[in-house]
Amino acid sequence: MGYSINNIKKTAVLSLAILLPWLAYAEQSHGVTDEKEGGTMKSDTITRNAAAYALPPLPYTENALEPVISAKTIGFHYGKHHKGYVDNLNKLVEGTVFSGPGMTLEKIMTETAGKADKAAIFNNAAQAWNHAFYWKSLVPNGGSEPPAELKKKIEASFGTVEACKKELADAATSQFGSGWAWLVQDGAALKVVKTSNADTPITKGMNPLLAIDVWEHAYYLDYQNRRADHVNSVLDKLINWKFAADNLK
């Protein structure tokens, strides 16, 4: 048909020039899935842009806590709710002192707690922090014997580890509405406290060791209204005593 080598080269270069930008746009628009052992996590689940605060990665795959907490629950809880708090916080603090260098979630919480005009910033900062702490309070195949130092402090404050777990379960199940149950260090003693909504022991001068989330989005897909079943399963099979021990001061 009389095609020259030069004409074929020009046609190939033109085709690539048209195709490559389209491929880049398609990849950006639809996201890339990143395969991990035991599950799949979308690349847009973790923010990696220039926003002031970023969503930290989960310390395990989304299905690692099954059967106590399903991958579906983790997907919604982490990928929608936790991410939503981080995204909202970045919008709320844009152009304010809370987006400046050296500012942390802890500083935002302590500087906005109890201030009505800063309630939205506090709520989203506290929930971003609470959830990052909560994920580390859980571990696959958890719930075993606490490390020696922590066990000694638990026994000094509660009598036995089982008594501590019972107090945590009671706090989590009796919390009216949304909130959290916490094992905290208050001076030399360990205590169990509960907080409502986004409230956190940090603003009350206590050192959190563990957290149990009792907002309905933490368990409703798996347990519906059986909060107590969820809490007891978490304490028996997922609670991360080593993380609590690491948080001792």
**From first to last of its 249 residues, what are the pLDDT tens digits of the chain?**
444 545 544 444 444 443 433 333 333 333 333 333 333 233 232 232 355 899 999 999 999 999 999 999 999 999 999 999 999 999 999 999 999 888 999 999 999 999 999 999 999 999 999 999 999 999 999 999 999 999 999 999 999 999 999 999 999 999 999 999 999 999 999 999 999 999 999 999 999 999 999 999 999 999 999 999 999 999 999 999 999 999 999
Residue 45: inside a domain: no
Q: What is the DSSP letter of 81?
A: I
Helical H runs in the chain?
5-30, 71-76, 83-93, 105-112, 119-136, 148-158, 161-174, 220-223, 227-237, 241-246
Residue 108: inside a domain: yes
Residue 30: inside a domain: no
| Residue 41: strand pairing partners | 34
Residue 3: inside a domain: no
pTM (predicted TM-score): 0.79
Residue 78: inside a domain: yes
Question: Which of helix, strand or coil describes residue 179?
Answer: strand
What CATH number should be reported for the domain holding residue 89? 3.55.40.20
Residue 5: inside a domain: no
Handedness of CA 74, 80, 83, 85 (dihedral sign): negative
Cα separation, 219 vs 115, whole angstroms: 31
Q: Which amino acid is at 71?
A: A
Residue 240: inside a domain: yes
Domain count, the chain: 1
Query: Rounded to the nearest 5 degrees, what angle is found at the Cα of 15, between the Cα atoms of 13 and 20?
Result: 95
152 is in which domain, residue-wise? Answer: 63-249
Residue 24: inside a domain: no
